[in-house]
């Protein structure tokens, strides 16, 4: 795998006009600015206590609680350099970003104090340089989206009906999943393909609640690449209005950590992560429908669970048991009721009434010596509306019910939000 990575890099720069010294002529260039953002409010009609799954009866009658949130605010800048070269960058502020500062507190005798005024995260979601040779062959290198599953390739708030990103995929997969690597992609006839070479996931960061979901981001100033992984996606557009896609991922995760375990005890542990996914999207006749099915398998789940539980308390690892198999599936459909009007003066406004169903379980199958945490699996039913006053702005409202296994308590909520996604220039 290491030699394949080197070969990709060599091929990328070998075809570069810069590398060949003949980039003196540039065709017309262009700058693109854009982005997307969400502002949401939710009222949860269930306990917010972190022990509610351990003692469900104790917290059954807890009061409801609400929260405002800015899940994602993303700014995009892209540039066409000419001769088939382009770049794209996106910076993402999650949950309002971060506000921290060193201050001198007068009321505390002038002491220096580190203040955290607002939680959240700031991250580079994308940064890549691409060379296009012809429609069927493009090479992209940098920080790229891993197109496994439905949501990772369709994560803009105008690309799903729910107020927040679909729960199912984000419960078992990184979402949005972005890694630094190389991609080869292209379009031919009614097909689009993409093949990626990436750093593998770090099994230290796997856990029961999210399976591998927390392992794409690195807690360090760099991404560890002791192991490599591949991702592939194919989409078909033969039927008008319909896209059908399939994607897969494979990589070895054990030992891809800052302090990997050595010795005969772990010699055979590889932590192979294998994911398969199928999805579709249909947009026609005033109907939008989407669906997906994801299944993942982790080899050596029992050995990795035991190893992670021995890590130091200061480790970024959740230090919890990990399932050998995880599953997520869901479908949503909406109809534009404004299309029923014979008077089309309302255009471009649209009003979709939608429904959604999901089932997911981050501990779908576990090794014999690992307990299956019942709260990790649930069904979720959602009903709501999306109003698009203009094409790139949407106002959302929904009622959702998370249906858990007995004796756990079901989790109901009402959410509203406003979002945009578009290009400014």
This prediction's pTM:
0.88
**Predicted local distance difference test score (pLDDT) of residue 331:** 98
* Phi, psi (deg, nearest 5) at residue 337: -70, -20
Residue 237 lies in a domain: yes
Which contiguous run of DSSP H or E holds residue 303? helix 301-309
Residue 19 lies in a domain: no
Residue 334 lies in a domain: yes
Residue 24 lies in a domain: no
**Which tens digits make up the pLDDT trace of 142-172?**
999 999 999 999 999 999 999 999 999 999 9
CA dihedral 51, 57, 61, 66 (to 10 degrees): 30
Residue 220 lies in a domain: yes
**Other residues' Cβ atoms within 10 Å of the Cβ of residue 81:** 18
Domain of residue 74, residue span: 29-96+119-423
**Predicted local distance difference test score (pLDDT) of residue 5:** 45
The answer to whether the CB of 381 falls within 8 A of the CB of 399 is no
**Which tens digits make up the pLDDT trace of 57-105?**
999 999 999 999 999 999 999 999 999 999 999 999 999 887 776 666 5
**Which tens digits make up the pLDDT trace of 219-259?**
888 899 999 999 999 999 999 999 999 999 999 999 898 88
> Which residue do the tokens 């459909």 mark?
333
Residue 136 belongs to domain with CATH number: 2.40.160.10
Structural domain count, the chain: 1
**Which tens digits make up the pLDDT trace of 327-380?**
999 999 999 999 999 888 888 999 999 999 999 999 999 999 898 899 999 999
| Average per-residue pLDDT for the chain | 90
Residue 21 lies in a domain: no
Residue 114 lies in a domain: no
**Other residues' Cβ atoms within 10 Å of the Cβ of residue 327:** 21
Residue 194 lies in a domain: yes
118 pLDDT exceeds 80?
no
């Amino acid at each position: 795998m290491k030699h394949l990575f080197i070969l990709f890099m060599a091929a990328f720069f070998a075809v570069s006009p810069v590398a060949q010294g003949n980039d003196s002529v540039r065709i017309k260039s262009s700058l693109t600015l854009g982005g997307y953002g969400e502002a949401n409010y939710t009222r949860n009609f269930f306990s917010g206590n972190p022990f509610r799954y351990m003692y469900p009866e104790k917290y059954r009658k807890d009061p409801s609680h609400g929260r405002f949130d800015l899940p994602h605010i993303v700014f995009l800048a892209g540039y066409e350099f000419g001769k088939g070269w382009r770049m794209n960058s996106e910076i993402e502020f999650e949950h309002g970003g971060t506000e921290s500062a060193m201050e001198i507190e007068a009321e505390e005798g002038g002491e220096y104090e580190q203040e955290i005024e607002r939680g959240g995260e700031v991250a580079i979601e994308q940064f890549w340089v691409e060379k296009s040779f012809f429609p069927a062959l493009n090479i992209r290198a940098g920080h790229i989206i891993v197109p496994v599953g439905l949501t990772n390739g369709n994560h803009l708030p105008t690309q799903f009906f729910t107020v927040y990103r679909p729960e199912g995929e984000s419960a078992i997969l990184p979402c949005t999943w972005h890694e630094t690597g190389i991609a080869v992609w292209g379009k031919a006839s009614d097909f689009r393909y993409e093949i990626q070479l990436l750093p593998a996931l770090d099994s230290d960061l796997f856990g029961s609640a999210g399976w591998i979901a927390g392992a794409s981001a690195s807690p360090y100033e760099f991404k560890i690449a002791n192991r490599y992984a591949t991702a592939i996606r194919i989409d078909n557009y033969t039927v008008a209005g319909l896209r059908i896609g399939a994607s897969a991922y494979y990589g070895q995760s054990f030992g891809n950590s800052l302090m990997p375990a050595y010795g005969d005890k772990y010699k055979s542990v590889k932590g192979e992560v294998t994911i398969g996914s199928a999805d579709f999207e249909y947009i026609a006749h005033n109907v939008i429908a989407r669906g997906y099915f994801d299944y993942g398998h982790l080899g050596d789940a029992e050995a990795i669970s035991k190893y992670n539980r021995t890590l130091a308390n200061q480790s970024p690892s959740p230090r919890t048991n990990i399932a050998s198999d995880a599953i997520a599936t869901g479908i949503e459909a909406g109809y534009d009721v404004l299309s029923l009007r014979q008077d089309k003066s309302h255009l471009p406004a649209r009003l979709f009434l939608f429904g959604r169903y999901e089932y997911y379980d981050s501990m779908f199958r576990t090794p014999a010596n690992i307990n299956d945490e019942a709260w990790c699996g649930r069904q979720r039913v959602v009903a709501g509306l999306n109003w698009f006053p203009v094409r790139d702005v949407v106002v959302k409202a929904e009622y959702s019910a998370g249906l858990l296994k007995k004796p756990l308590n079901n989790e109901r909520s009402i959410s509203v939000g406003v979002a945009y996604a578009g290009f400014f220039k």
